[in-house]
Amino acid sequence: MNERIRELAVQSGMSKLVDSWEYERFAELIIRECVNREALLGAIARGWCSEKNSHKTMDPDLAVAIFDEVEQQIRQQFGVE
């Protein structure tokens, strides 16, 4: 299990409540939800379409590249494939 997941489980007190497999699986499910492709691409698009950026043109390839980088960082941080 990723050390960061273990640290967070200990901080939350969860490690005292369930075995390591259960909280590791719980963490994986949360992380997978956080890297939901459609949700993150939607958030990127909304940022581009905000009033502050309304005069800019969105580059779909750049949006996907941003998502890929964010996803990779989250997965690396928590050791989730």
- Residue pair 40/67 in contact (Cβ under 8 Å)? The answer is yes
Span 3-29, average pLDDT: 72
| Mean pLDDT across 27-46 | 84
Phi, psi at 77, each rounded to 5°: -60, -40
What is the pTM (predicted TM-score) of this model? 0.64
Tokens of 43: 């958030």
pLDDT for residue 8 is more than 70: yes
Q: How far apart are CA 81 and CA 24, in angstroms?
A: 13
Q: pLDDT at residue 1 above 60?
A: no
* Tens-place pLDDT, residues 58-79: 888 988 999 999 999 988 887 7
**Rounded distance, CA 49 to CA 47, Å?**
5
Residue 26 has pLDDT above 80, yes or no: no
